Protein backbone atom coordinates (compact mmCIF):
# COMPACT_ATOMS: atom_id res chain seq x y z
CA UNK A 1 0.00 0.00 0.00
CA UNK A 2 2.76 2.43 1.00
CA UNK A 3 4.54 1.69 -2.26
CA UNK A 4 1.48 2.49 -4.37
CA UNK A 5 0.85 5.77 -2.55
CA UNK A 6 4.49 6.66 -2.96
CA UNK A 7 4.23 6.01 -6.71
CA UNK A 8 1.18 8.29 -6.91
CA UNK A 9 3.08 11.02 -5.10
CA UNK A 10 6.01 10.64 -7.53
CA UNK A 11 3.61 10.93 -10.51
CA UNK A 12 2.18 14.18 -9.11
CA UNK A 13 5.65 15.53 -8.41
CA UNK A 14 6.79 14.81 -11.98
CA UNK A 15 3.49 15.70 -13.66
CA UNK A 16 2.80 12.20 -14.98
CA UNK A 17 -0.96 12.29 -15.70
CA UNK A 18 -1.55 8.87 -17.29
CA UNK A 19 0.23 6.07 -19.14
CA UNK A 20 -0.52 7.96 -22.37
CA UNK A 21 1.36 11.09 -21.24
CA UNK A 22 4.53 11.87 -23.17
CA UNK A 23 5.87 13.81 -20.17
CA UNK A 24 8.21 13.18 -18.45
CA UNK A 25 10.26 11.37 -21.07
CA UNK A 26 11.89 8.97 -18.59
CA UNK A 27 8.47 7.75 -17.37
CA UNK A 28 7.04 7.10 -20.87
CA UNK A 29 4.65 4.12 -20.96
CA UNK A 30 4.49 3.76 -17.18
CA UNK A 31 1.23 4.07 -15.25
CA UNK A 32 0.38 7.65 -14.32
CA UNK A 33 -1.51 9.37 -11.49
CA UNK A 34 -4.89 8.34 -12.95
CA UNK A 35 -4.17 4.59 -13.30
CA UNK A 36 -2.38 4.39 -9.95
CA UNK A 37 -5.22 6.20 -8.16
CA UNK A 38 -7.69 3.79 -9.79
CA UNK A 39 -5.53 0.87 -8.67
CA UNK A 40 -5.39 2.22 -5.11
CA UNK A 41 -9.18 2.65 -4.98
CA UNK A 42 -9.68 -0.88 -6.40
CA UNK A 43 -7.30 -2.21 -3.72
CA UNK A 44 -9.62 -0.61 -1.11
CA UNK A 45 -6.98 1.83 0.12
CA UNK A 46 -9.02 4.52 1.98
CA UNK A 47 -9.61 7.63 -0.15
CA UNK A 48 -8.20 9.78 2.68
CA UNK A 49 -4.87 7.90 2.55
CA UNK A 50 -4.73 8.27 -1.23
CA UNK A 51 -5.34 12.01 -0.83
CA UNK A 52 -2.97 12.58 2.11
CA UNK A 53 -0.06 10.22 1.31
CA UNK A 54 -0.35 10.25 -2.51
CA UNK A 55 -1.73 13.44 -4.01
CA UNK A 56 -1.10 16.01 -1.25
CA UNK A 57 2.34 14.60 -0.49
CA UNK A 58 3.31 15.00 -4.15
CA UNK A 59 2.02 18.57 -4.32
CA UNK A 60 3.79 19.45 -1.05
CA UNK A 61 7.09 18.43 -2.67
CA UNK A 62 6.22 20.50 -5.76
CA UNK A 63 5.45 23.56 -3.59
CA UNK A 64 8.68 23.14 -1.61
CA UNK A 65 10.78 22.82 -4.76
CA UNK A 66 9.09 25.88 -6.34
CA UNK A 67 9.72 27.91 -3.16
CA UNK A 68 13.38 26.86 -3.20
CA UNK A 69 13.78 27.77 -6.88
CA UNK A 70 14.46 24.15 -7.89
CA UNK A 71 11.55 24.06 -10.35
CA UNK A 72 9.65 26.76 -12.23
CA UNK A 73 6.08 27.73 -13.23
CA UNK A 74 5.71 25.22 -16.13
CA UNK A 75 6.55 22.29 -13.82
CA UNK A 76 4.01 23.53 -11.22
CA UNK A 77 1.34 23.72 -13.94
CA UNK A 78 2.07 20.18 -15.15
CA UNK A 79 1.94 18.81 -11.60
CA UNK A 80 -1.33 20.63 -10.94
CA UNK A 81 -2.76 18.96 -14.06
CA UNK A 82 -1.77 15.52 -12.76
CA UNK A 83 -3.23 16.37 -9.35
CA UNK A 84 -6.54 17.58 -10.84
CA UNK A 85 -6.86 14.49 -13.06
CA UNK A 86 -6.45 12.15 -10.08
CA UNK A 87 -8.71 14.33 -7.91
CA UNK A 88 -11.57 13.68 -10.37
CA UNK A 89 -11.52 10.04 -9.21
CA UNK A 90 -11.82 11.15 -5.58
CA UNK A 91 -14.78 13.49 -6.27
CA UNK A 92 -17.44 10.94 -5.20
CA UNK A 93 -15.77 10.72 -1.77
CA UNK A 94 -15.99 14.51 -1.34
CA UNK A 95 -19.64 14.43 -2.38
CA UNK A 96 -20.45 11.61 0.07
CA UNK A 97 -18.68 13.50 2.85
CA UNK A 98 -16.03 10.78 3.40
CA UNK A 99 -13.38 13.29 2.32
CA UNK A 100 -13.39 16.91 3.38
CA UNK A 101 -11.39 19.88 2.20
CA UNK A 102 -9.43 21.68 4.93
CA UNK A 103 -11.39 24.92 4.73
CA UNK A 104 -12.09 27.93 2.51
CA UNK A 105 -9.66 30.57 1.30
CA UNK A 106 -10.73 33.71 -0.56
CA UNK A 107 -8.19 35.00 -3.10
CA UNK A 108 -8.06 38.08 -5.28
CA UNK A 109 -5.80 40.61 -6.99
CA UNK A 110 -6.54 44.02 -5.46
CA UNK A 111 -8.33 47.01 -7.02
CA UNK A 112 -6.66 48.58 -10.04
CA UNK A 113 -4.43 45.56 -10.65
CA UNK A 114 -4.91 43.11 -13.52
CA UNK A 115 -1.92 40.82 -12.87
CA UNK A 116 -3.16 37.34 -12.03
CA UNK A 117 -0.47 34.86 -13.02
CA UNK A 118 1.00 34.72 -9.49
CA UNK A 119 -2.43 34.56 -7.86
CA UNK A 120 -3.41 31.67 -10.15
CA UNK A 121 -0.29 29.75 -9.10
CA UNK A 122 -1.12 30.45 -5.46
CA UNK A 123 -4.61 29.05 -6.11
CA UNK A 124 -3.17 25.84 -7.56
CA UNK A 125 -0.78 25.36 -4.65
CA UNK A 126 -3.52 25.93 -2.05
CA UNK A 127 -5.93 23.60 -3.86
CA UNK A 128 -3.12 21.10 -4.22
CA UNK A 129 -2.70 21.41 -0.45
CA UNK A 130 -6.32 20.43 0.18
CA UNK A 131 -8.00 23.86 0.57
CA UNK A 132 -11.11 25.11 -1.22
CA UNK A 133 -10.27 28.34 -3.03
CA UNK A 134 -12.83 30.99 -3.92
CA UNK A 135 -11.07 33.04 -6.57
CA UNK A 136 -12.52 36.53 -7.00
CA UNK A 137 -10.23 37.30 -9.94
CA UNK A 138 -8.54 40.65 -10.58
CA UNK A 139 -9.36 44.29 -9.73
CA UNK A 140 -11.18 43.26 -6.54
CA UNK A 141 -12.25 46.02 -4.15
CA UNK A 142 -12.90 45.89 -0.42
CA UNK A 143 -16.65 45.50 -0.79
CA UNK A 144 -16.28 42.43 -3.00
CA UNK A 145 -13.81 40.80 -0.57
CA UNK A 146 -16.10 41.52 2.39
CA UNK A 147 -19.22 40.20 0.63
CA UNK A 148 -17.36 37.04 -0.28
CA UNK A 149 -16.05 36.50 3.27
CA UNK A 150 -19.66 36.81 4.49
CA UNK A 151 -21.19 34.65 1.79
CA UNK A 152 -18.71 31.80 2.29
CA UNK A 153 -18.16 32.27 6.02
CA UNK A 154 -14.42 32.08 5.26
CA UNK A 155 -11.69 32.93 7.77
CA UNK A 156 -8.69 33.21 5.46
CA UNK A 157 -8.00 35.69 2.69
CA UNK A 158 -5.07 36.14 0.30
CA UNK A 159 -4.44 39.46 -1.44
CA UNK A 160 -2.12 39.83 -4.42
CA UNK A 161 -0.61 43.00 -5.97
CA UNK A 162 2.07 43.45 -8.63
CA UNK A 163 2.23 47.23 -8.91
CA UNK A 164 3.77 49.68 -6.47
CA UNK A 165 0.64 51.79 -6.99
CA UNK A 166 -1.95 49.04 -6.36
CA UNK A 167 -0.11 47.58 -3.36
CA UNK A 168 -1.19 50.79 -1.59
CA UNK A 169 -4.83 49.73 -2.13
CA UNK A 170 -4.16 46.71 0.08
CA UNK A 171 -4.06 48.99 3.13
CA UNK A 172 -7.59 50.29 2.44
CA UNK A 173 -8.89 46.79 1.80
CA UNK A 174 -7.34 45.40 4.99
CA UNK A 175 -8.71 48.31 7.05
CA UNK A 176 -12.24 47.64 5.73
CA UNK A 177 -11.94 43.90 6.37
CA UNK A 178 -10.75 44.53 9.95
CA UNK A 179 -13.69 46.92 10.52
CA UNK A 180 -16.12 44.16 9.53
CA UNK A 181 -14.45 41.03 10.96
CA UNK A 182 -12.18 40.40 13.91
CA UNK A 183 -11.28 36.79 13.12
CA UNK A 184 -10.10 36.83 9.50
CA UNK A 185 -6.49 35.94 8.74
CA UNK A 186 -5.14 38.19 5.98
CA UNK A 187 -2.10 37.09 3.96
CA UNK A 188 -0.51 39.34 1.33
CA UNK A 189 1.91 38.67 -1.51
CA UNK A 190 3.21 39.83 -4.88
CA UNK A 191 6.58 40.83 -6.28
CA UNK A 192 6.82 44.45 -4.97
CA UNK A 193 5.85 43.57 -1.37
CA UNK A 194 8.02 42.78 1.62
CA UNK A 195 7.55 41.96 5.29
CA UNK A 196 7.98 45.59 6.40
CA UNK A 197 5.18 46.74 4.11
CA UNK A 198 2.93 43.87 5.23
CA UNK A 199 3.44 44.89 8.88
CA UNK A 200 2.75 48.53 8.07
CA UNK A 201 -0.61 47.75 6.43
CA UNK A 202 -1.64 45.44 9.28
CA UNK A 203 -1.59 42.16 7.35
CA UNK A 204 -1.21 38.98 9.40
CA UNK A 205 1.47 37.55 7.15
CA UNK A 206 3.47 38.04 3.97
CA UNK A 207 5.10 35.32 1.89
CA UNK A 208 7.13 35.71 -1.28
CA UNK A 209 5.97 32.29 -2.52
CA UNK A 210 2.71 30.29 -2.35
CA UNK A 211 4.14 27.43 -0.28
CA UNK A 212 4.77 29.85 2.59
CA UNK A 213 1.06 30.67 2.78
CA UNK A 214 0.10 26.99 2.53
CA UNK A 215 2.43 26.00 5.39
CA UNK A 216 1.24 28.99 7.45
CA UNK A 217 -2.50 28.23 7.20
CA UNK A 218 -1.88 24.50 7.67
CA UNK A 219 -0.03 25.28 10.90
CA UNK A 220 -2.61 27.81 12.05
CA UNK A 221 -5.80 25.88 11.28
CA UNK A 222 -4.93 22.20 10.86
CA UNK A 223 -1.73 21.12 12.64
CA UNK A 224 -2.57 23.07 15.82
CA UNK A 225 -5.97 21.30 16.24
C1 LIG B 1 2.75 39.64 -17.20
C2 LIG B 1 2.83 41.11 -16.84
C3 LIG B 1 1.75 41.93 -17.23
C4 LIG B 1 0.50 41.40 -17.91
C5 LIG B 1 -0.38 40.73 -16.84
C6 LIG B 1 -1.10 39.50 -17.38
C7 LIG B 1 -1.72 38.69 -16.28
N8 LIG B 1 -2.78 38.00 -16.65
O9 LIG B 1 -1.28 38.65 -15.15
C10 LIG B 1 -0.11 42.70 -18.50
C11 LIG B 1 0.42 42.87 -19.93
C12 LIG B 1 -1.62 42.78 -18.52
C13 LIG B 1 0.56 43.77 -17.65
C14 LIG B 1 0.06 45.04 -17.53
C15 LIG B 1 0.71 46.06 -16.83
N16 LIG B 1 1.90 45.98 -16.23
CO17 LIG B 1 2.84 44.29 -15.91
N18 LIG B 1 4.03 42.89 -15.82
C19 LIG B 1 3.94 41.63 -16.16
C20 LIG B 1 5.29 40.92 -15.84
C21 LIG B 1 6.05 40.79 -17.16
C22 LIG B 1 5.20 39.56 -15.20
C23 LIG B 1 4.36 39.48 -13.91
C24 LIG B 1 4.16 38.03 -13.56
O25 LIG B 1 3.15 37.42 -13.90
N26 LIG B 1 5.17 37.41 -12.92
C27 LIG B 1 5.17 35.97 -12.63
C28 LIG B 1 4.36 35.66 -11.37
C29 LIG B 1 4.36 34.15 -11.14
O30 LIG B 1 5.01 36.29 -10.29
P31 LIG B 1 4.23 37.08 -9.15
O32 LIG B 1 2.99 37.69 -9.70
O33 LIG B 1 5.19 37.92 -8.43
O34 LIG B 1 3.69 35.93 -8.17
C35 LIG B 1 4.55 35.12 -7.41
C36 LIG B 1 4.83 35.67 -6.01
O37 LIG B 1 4.91 37.07 -5.97
C38 LIG B 1 3.73 35.10 -5.17
N39 LIG B 1 2.48 35.82 -5.01
C40 LIG B 1 1.79 36.61 -5.82
N41 LIG B 1 0.67 37.04 -5.27
C42 LIG B 1 0.61 36.49 -4.03
C43 LIG B 1 -0.35 36.60 -3.03
C44 LIG B 1 -0.12 35.92 -1.83
C45 LIG B 1 -1.15 36.03 -0.74
C46 LIG B 1 1.03 35.14 -1.66
C47 LIG B 1 1.27 34.43 -0.38
C48 LIG B 1 1.98 35.02 -2.66
C49 LIG B 1 1.76 35.70 -3.85
O50 LIG B 1 3.44 33.86 -5.76
C51 LIG B 1 3.75 33.87 -7.16
C52 LIG B 1 4.45 32.61 -7.49
O53 LIG B 1 5.68 32.53 -6.84
C54 LIG B 1 5.97 41.94 -14.86
C55 LIG B 1 7.50 42.01 -14.94
C56 LIG B 1 8.17 40.89 -14.24
N57 LIG B 1 9.13 40.30 -14.89
O58 LIG B 1 7.80 40.54 -13.11
C59 LIG B 1 5.33 43.26 -15.28
C60 LIG B 1 5.16 44.37 -14.25
C61 LIG B 1 4.62 43.80 -12.95
N62 LIG B 1 4.14 45.21 -14.88
C63 LIG B 1 4.37 46.47 -14.71
C64 LIG B 1 3.55 47.53 -15.23
C65 LIG B 1 4.05 48.94 -15.00
C66 LIG B 1 2.36 47.25 -15.91
C67 LIG B 1 1.41 48.27 -16.51
C68 LIG B 1 1.13 49.51 -15.68
C69 LIG B 1 1.95 48.64 -17.89
C70 LIG B 1 1.21 49.73 -18.63
N71 LIG B 1 1.86 50.86 -18.72
O72 LIG B 1 0.10 49.53 -19.04
C73 LIG B 1 0.11 47.43 -16.74
C74 LIG B 1 -0.81 47.51 -15.52
C75 LIG B 1 -2.11 46.83 -15.77
C76 LIG B 1 -2.88 46.74 -14.47
N77 LIG B 1 -3.77 47.70 -14.23
O78 LIG B 1 -2.65 45.85 -13.71
C79 LIG B 1 5.60 46.73 -13.86
C80 LIG B 1 5.30 47.12 -12.43
C81 LIG B 1 6.20 48.22 -11.96
C82 LIG B 1 5.87 48.62 -10.58
N83 LIG B 1 6.91 48.59 -9.76
O84 LIG B 1 4.79 48.92 -10.22
C85 LIG B 1 6.37 45.38 -14.02
C86 LIG B 1 7.28 44.99 -12.85
C87 LIG B 1 7.21 45.51 -15.34
C88 LIG B 1 8.33 46.54 -15.20
N89 LIG B 1 9.54 46.10 -14.96
O90 LIG B 1 8.11 47.71 -15.33
N91 LIG B 1 1.66 43.28 -17.03
pLDDT for 147-204, tens place per residue?
A: 999 999 999 999 999 999 999 999 999 999 999 999 999 999 999 999 999 999 999 9
User: Could you list the residue range(s) of the whole structural domain that residue 83 is in?
Assistant: 2-96
Whether 215 has a pLDDT exceeding 80, the answer reads yes
Same domain, yes or no, for 30 and 127?
A: no
Same domain, yes or no, for 48 and 124?
A: no
HSE-CB at 81 with a 13 A cutoff on CA atoms is 14
Same domain, yes or no, for 9 and 75?
A: yes
Same domain, yes or no, for 91 and 120?
A: no
Mean pLDDT of 88-100: 91
Distance 182 CA to ligand 1 centre (A): 31
Dist. CA 123–CA 76, nearest whole Å: 11
What residues have CB less than 8 Å from 146, skipping those under 6 apart? Answer: 176, 177, 180, 181
Q: What is the helix (H) or strand (E) element at residue 135, kind and residue range?
A: strand 132-135
Indicate the number of domains in the chain. Answer: 2
Same domain, yes or no, for 32 and 113?
A: no
Compute the mean pLDDT over every residue in the chain, rounded to the nearest whole number. Answer: 95
Dist. CA 51–CA 63, nearest whole Å: 16
Whether 115 has a pLDDT exceeding 80, the answer reads yes
Residue 86, classed as helix, strand or coil, is: helix
Same domain, yes or no, for 108 and 92?
A: no
Same domain, yes or no, for 124 and 90?
A: no
Same domain, yes or no, for 46 and 74?
A: yes
Burial tier of 201 (Cβ tally within 10 Å: 0-12, 13-18, 19+): buried
| Domain end position, chosen among 74, 96, 118 | 96
Distance 177 CA to ligand 1 centre (A): 24
Same domain, yes or no, for 110 and 198?
A: yes
pLDDT for 17-48, tens place per residue?
A: 999 999 999 999 999 999 999 999 999 999 99
* Residue 58, domain CATH: 1.10.1240.10
* Closest C-alpha to 124, from 193, 55, 186: 55
| Residue located nearest, by CA, to atom 2 of ligand 1 | 115
Closest ligand 1 atom number to CA of residue 66:
53
| Residue located nearest, by CA, to atom 42 of ligand 1 | 189
Amino acid sequence: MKDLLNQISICIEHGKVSSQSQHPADMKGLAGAIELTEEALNSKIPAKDILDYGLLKGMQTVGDKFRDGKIFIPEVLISAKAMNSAMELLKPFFISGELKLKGKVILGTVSGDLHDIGKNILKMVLEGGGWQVIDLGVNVNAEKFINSLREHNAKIIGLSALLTTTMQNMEVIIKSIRENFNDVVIVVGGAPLNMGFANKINADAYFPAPQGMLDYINNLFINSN
